[in-house]
Amino acid sequence: MLAKMMDLSETGTLLYLLCDPELPDAVGSASSLAAYHQGKIFEIPAIISRKDGRMIAFQFANPPKEVLRDVQGKLIRMEIEWMRLSRRS
Protein backbone atom coordinates (compact mmCIF):
# COMPACT_ATOMS: atom_id res chain seq x y z
CA MET A 1 0.00 0.00 0.00
CA LEU A 2 1.41 3.41 -0.92
CA ALA A 3 1.14 6.46 1.30
CA LYS A 4 2.39 10.03 1.47
CA MET A 5 4.41 10.86 4.56
CA MET A 6 2.84 13.94 6.12
CA ASP A 7 5.07 14.17 9.17
CA LEU A 8 8.12 12.33 10.47
CA SER A 9 9.90 12.37 13.82
CA GLU A 10 12.33 10.09 15.60
CA THR A 11 9.40 8.44 17.38
CA GLY A 12 6.78 8.06 14.64
CA THR A 13 5.12 9.21 11.46
CA LEU A 14 1.78 10.36 10.08
CA LEU A 15 0.78 8.89 6.72
CA TYR A 16 -1.93 9.72 4.20
CA LEU A 17 -2.98 6.57 2.34
CA LEU A 18 -3.17 7.01 -1.44
CA CYS A 19 -6.06 4.54 -1.71
CA ASP A 20 -9.15 3.83 0.35
CA PRO A 21 -8.09 2.22 3.60
CA GLU A 22 -9.01 -1.42 3.85
CA LEU A 23 -6.80 -2.14 6.82
CA PRO A 24 -8.26 -4.66 9.22
CA ASP A 25 -5.62 -3.71 11.79
CA ALA A 26 -6.91 -1.85 14.82
CA VAL A 27 -5.25 0.87 16.85
CA GLY A 28 -2.50 -0.80 18.88
CA SER A 29 -1.71 -3.39 16.19
CA ALA A 30 1.90 -4.05 15.26
CA SER A 31 2.95 -3.20 11.74
CA SER A 32 6.02 -2.61 9.61
CA LEU A 33 6.70 0.44 7.45
CA ALA A 34 9.06 0.64 4.50
CA ALA A 35 10.77 3.99 3.87
CA TYR A 36 13.13 5.11 1.12
CA HIS A 37 16.23 7.16 1.87
CA GLN A 38 19.29 7.80 -0.30
CA GLY A 39 18.89 4.85 -2.60
CA LYS A 40 17.86 2.26 -0.07
CA ILE A 41 14.66 1.00 1.48
CA PHE A 42 14.59 0.29 5.19
CA GLU A 43 11.86 -1.21 7.36
CA ILE A 44 10.65 0.31 10.60
CA PRO A 45 8.66 -1.70 13.14
CA ALA A 46 5.68 0.39 14.24
CA ILE A 47 2.39 0.32 16.11
CA ILE A 48 -0.78 1.96 14.79
CA SER A 49 -1.53 4.73 17.27
CA ARG A 50 -4.46 6.43 15.52
CA LYS A 51 -6.61 6.06 12.41
CA ASP A 52 -8.99 8.57 10.84
CA GLY A 53 -10.09 7.90 7.27
CA ARG A 54 -6.98 7.85 5.10
CA MET A 55 -4.78 9.33 7.83
CA ILE A 56 -2.88 6.84 10.00
CA ALA A 57 -0.42 7.69 12.77
CA PHE A 58 2.29 5.19 13.66
CA GLN A 59 4.57 5.10 16.67
CA PHE A 60 7.90 3.40 16.02
CA ALA A 61 8.28 0.26 18.12
CA ASN A 62 11.88 -0.22 19.31
CA PRO A 63 13.56 0.12 15.92
CA PRO A 64 17.13 -1.19 15.64
CA LYS A 65 19.92 1.41 15.96
CA GLU A 66 20.74 1.27 12.23
CA VAL A 67 17.09 2.02 11.40
CA LEU A 68 17.12 4.97 13.82
CA ARG A 69 20.22 6.28 12.01
CA ASP A 70 18.34 6.01 8.71
CA VAL A 71 15.36 7.90 10.18
CA GLN A 72 17.68 10.60 11.56
CA GLY A 73 19.42 10.85 8.18
CA LYS A 74 16.06 11.26 6.47
CA LEU A 75 15.06 13.97 8.95
CA ILE A 76 18.31 15.86 8.31
CA ARG A 77 17.85 15.56 4.55
CA MET A 78 14.24 16.81 4.81
CA GLU A 79 15.36 19.80 6.90
CA ILE A 80 18.07 20.71 4.38
CA GLU A 81 15.56 20.49 1.54
CA TRP A 82 13.05 22.62 3.47
CA MET A 83 15.71 25.28 4.12
CA ARG A 84 16.69 25.28 0.45
CA LEU A 85 13.08 25.69 -0.66
CA SER A 86 12.29 28.38 1.92
CA ARG A 87 15.18 30.53 0.66
CA ARG A 88 13.60 30.58 -2.79
CA SER A 89 10.47 32.36 -1.54
- 8 Å CB contact between 37 and 74: yes
Q: Which domain, by its residues, includes 20?
A: 3-88
pTM: 0.82
Give pLDDT tens digits for 63-83: 999 999 989 998 998 899 889
- In the chain, the number of structural domains is 1
CATH of the domain at 23: 2.40.10.220
Select from 83, 82, 52, 73 the least CA-distant residue to 10: 73
* pLDDT tens digit at each of 89 positions of the chain: 788 999 999 999 999 998 876 766 789 999 999 988 888 898 999 999 999 988 999 999 999 999 999 899 989 988 998 899 888 86
DSSP secondary structure of 50-79: EEETTEEEEEE-S--HHHHHHHHHHHHHHH
Question: What count of Cα atoms within 13 Å lies in the side-chain half-sphere of residue 58?
Answer: 26
SS3 state at 24: coil
